[in-house]
């Protein structure tokens, strides 16, 4: 019985204690409605939290009604909230997935604080974990990303990871559990759905036992990552020296019997949040004996000094200047990642794009570009205007909050000018223009000088995703 396996999985993985109070994240889909039914049969005090992201019109409203009705039938309190997700996406430049995730987890945290819930139950199941493996495989996240979905992450628990989608659906039908099908699950717009609807059915044709085999593979990879974490912890104690929030990594002290680049990757990714592309740049600088160039994660800056890697938190006044070479596919700056795609003008179907995307005349660019925080004195020509405007005035006129102003970046055509200080992580020397030529006030407004025109032949599409 699924209920017996459910209880056993919670016990074996120490997901809950008898004193826990559980907040159930219930969307109305089959997985979360089965989770609601299972918890209603158990001893833990629980309540329901339902998010309506107002992206699916009447479908979303009908989901809300179902969840409220079923929660009441089980005698559980139901919290429901409507979110202006589209407005948040426009404000922050986030993708729909990122905006929805941030909104729901922030609200869940508030509910826990206000009502004393000690755990948040999410209805991810075994097939979700397999899909996450492939998503991270395609994104190149390294071994850590191939360990699937963790059953526990802080207050968040995932008590259905033992069951497949097929098992959960069969249980729902047998127990006559009401649920709704999200029509977006049938769309191949999103990578997860492409994997779910396209890749995995073909793999099952090759191996009908594919899901079970993959779960065993993911479990082995998880055990491997735990072993690596323990080993890296020991190495860190030997080669990393702390000075308050700053750290010095003595690369020469790493045992050459270890794969040094891999050790550096683990030290920088797990300890300071650096991404693979950035870490590759750090290791290349080490090999070349370079110094002075600065590398950024969301919260830290690193540079090379006499064969050592120095890491410290990003200071408030740091411009976080990051070079973008011509062959770049992505770049990390501040709390965001920027993606670069190249197209012929004939491939562009519409010039109408959201604020987190810019379509740029690629032939108007000088490389390398650079990303940095805006500075006093920066000017640009907002799209549709003839004259220039100070960035500071534009941000004020558009009522950007002070915290958002501090996080605002600009994309600059070619290296920055001398008046903006040394561009310490630019990779190529170049003749500098008298003042920085801003291509894009990122996530807000393109500069009119770089817009698509009737003479444009090549297009650079730049998208900003908040991490």
Which tens digits make up the pLDDT trace of 145-166?
Answer: 899 899 999 999 999 999 999 9
HEC letters along 98-127: HHHHHHHHHHHHHHHHHHCCCEEECCCEHH
Domains of the chain by start residue, with CATH: 2-217 (3.40.50.620), 244-313 (no CATH), 322-466 (no CATH)
Report residues of the chain scoring pLDDT below 70: 91-94, 415-434
What is the pLDDT at residue 42?
A: 93
Structure tokens at 383: 């799209």
Q: What is the pLDDT of residue 54?
A: 93
Are the C-beta atoms of 99 and 91 separated by less than 8 Å?
A: no
Instruction: Give the distance from CA 448 to its chain's centroid.
Output: 30
Determine the number of helices (DSSP H) and then strands (DSSP E) in the chain: 14, 22
The pairing of beta strand 246-250 with beta strand 308-313: antiparallel
Q: Which residues pair with 462 in a beta bridge?
A: 340, 358
Q: What is the pLDDT of residue 428?
A: 40
Residue 223 has a pLDDT of: 93
| Closest-CA residue to 391 (of 365, 366, 420, 415) | 420
Is 16 in a helix, a strand, or coil?
coil
Please tell me whether residue 24 adopts helix, strand or coil conformation.
strand
Q: What confidence score (pLDDT) does residue 447 get?
A: 96
The reported pTM is: 0.68
The pLDDT of residue 415:
59
Q: Give the strands of the sheet with 246-250, arranged side by side.
A: 240-243, 246-250, 308-313, 300-305, 294-296
């Amino acid at each position: 019985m699924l209920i017996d396996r459910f209880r056993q999985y919670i016990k074996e993985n120490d997901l809950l204690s008898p004193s826990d109070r559980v907040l159930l994240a219930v969307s109305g889909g089959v997985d979360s409605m089965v989770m609601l039914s299972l918890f209603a049969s158990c001893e833990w005090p629980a309540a329901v939290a339902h998010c309506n992201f107002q992206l699916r019109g009447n479908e979303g409203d009908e989901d809300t009604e179902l969840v409220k009705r079923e929660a009441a039938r089980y005698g559980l309190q139901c919290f429901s909230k409507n979110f202006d997700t589209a407005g948040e996406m426009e404000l922050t430049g986030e993708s729909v997935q990122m905006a929805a995730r941030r909104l729901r987890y922030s609200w869940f945290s508030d509910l826990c604080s206000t009502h004393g819930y000690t755990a948040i139950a999410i209805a991810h199941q075994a097939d979700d974990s397999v899909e996450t493996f492939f998503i991270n495989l395609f994104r190149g996240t390294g071994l850590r990303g191939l360990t699937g979905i963790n059953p526990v992450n802080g207050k968040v628990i995932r008590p259905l990871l033992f069951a497949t989608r097929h098992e959960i659906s069969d249980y729902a039908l047998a127990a006559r559990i009401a649920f709704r099908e999200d029509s977006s699950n049938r769309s191949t717009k999103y990578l997860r759905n492409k994997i779910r609807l396209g890749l995995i059915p073909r793999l099952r044709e090759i191996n009908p036992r594919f899901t079970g085999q993959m779960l065993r593979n993911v479990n082995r990879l998880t055990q491997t990552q735990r072993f690596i974490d323990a080993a890296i912890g020991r190495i860190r104690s030997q080669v990393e020296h702390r000075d308050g929030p700053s750290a010095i990594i003595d690369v020469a002290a790493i045992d050459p019997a270890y794969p040094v680049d891999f050790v550096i990757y683990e030290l920088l990714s797990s300890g300071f949040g650096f991404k693979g592309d950035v870490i590759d740049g750090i290791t290349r600088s080490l090999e070349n004996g370079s110094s002075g160039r600065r590398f950024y994660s969301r919260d830290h800056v690193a540079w090379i000094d006499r064969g050592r890697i120095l890491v410290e938190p990003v200071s408030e006044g740091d411009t976080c200047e990051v070079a973008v070479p011509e062959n770049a596919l992505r770049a990390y700056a501040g709390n965001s990642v920027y993606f670069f795609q190249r197209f012929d003008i004939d491939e562009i179907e519409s010039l109408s794009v959201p604020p987190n995307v810019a379509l740029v005349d690629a032939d108007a660019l000088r490389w390398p570009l650079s990303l940095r925080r805006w500075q006093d004195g920066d000017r640009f020509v907002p799209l549709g205007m003839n004259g220039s405007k100070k960035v500071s005035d534009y941000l004020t006129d558009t009522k950007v909050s002070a915290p958002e102003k501090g996080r605002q970046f600009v994309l600059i055509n070619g290296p920055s000018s001398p008046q903006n200080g040394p561009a310490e992580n630019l990779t190529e020397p170049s003749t500098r223009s008298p003042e920085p030529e801003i291509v894009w006030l990122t996530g807000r407004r393109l500069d009119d000088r770089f817009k698509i025109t009737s003479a444009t032949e090549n297009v650079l599409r730049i998208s900003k995703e908040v991490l």
